[in-house]
Structure 1
Amino acid sequence: MKPMYQVFIAEDEPAALQHLCNIIRIKCQNFQVVGTAENGQEALEQLESFHPDILITDVKMPVMDGIMLAKRVKERYPDLLTVIISGYQDFSYAQSALRFGVCDYILKPVKPSVLQESLRILKGRLDEYYYKMRNRIIHEMCAGNFTENPGFQQIFPEEEYYTALLRKNSLPRRFLESQGVEFFSGMEEQMIVYGRDEMETLYICPKKLLFHNSFYQVVQNLLEKEKKTKTMSFYTLILTEKPVSAKELFPTIRRLIYILDHRLIIGKNQTIEIGLQGEKKEQKTETQMQEEKLILERLRILVRKHDFQAAEKEIEKLFRLWEIQEYSQLCVEQKVRELFQIFKNENVENELQENAEYLLDDLFYYTENMQKLKENISQILCRNKEEQQKGKIDTPDFFEKIENYMKEQLALPLSAQKICTIFGISQTYLSKLFRKYSTESFNRHLATLRIEKAKEIMEDNPDLFIKAIAAMVGFSDQFYFSRIFHSITGMSPAEYMKNHKGISCDAKS
Structure 2
Amino acid sequence: MLKVLIVDDKPSVCAGLARLIRWEEAGAELVGTCGNGKEALEVALRTEPDVLITDIRMPLMDGLELCAHVRERLPDTMLVILSAYHEFSYAQTAIRYGVTDYILKPIDKTKIARLTAKLREWAADRESRSRFFGLFYDKEWRAKLVAGVKTGDLEFVADCFDTVFKARDAMGRDTVKEIGSRLLDAVPDIVRDIGLTPDYFGIDWERERREFGQARSKEEMMAAVQSLYTGMARTVMERKSGRGEAVAEKLRHIVKTQFANPDLTVYTIASELHLSPNYIGLVFRQWTGENLSVYITRLRMERAKELLRDPGATVHEVAGRVGYADPHYFTKVFKKQEGLTPSQYRNMALRQGRDGE
TM tier relative to shorter chain? 0.3 to 0.5
State the TM-score, normalized to the length of structure 1.
0.35
- Name the structure where helix makes up a greater proportion of residues: 2
State the TM-score, normalized to the length of structure 2.
0.47
- Name the structure where strand makes up a greater proportion of residues: 1
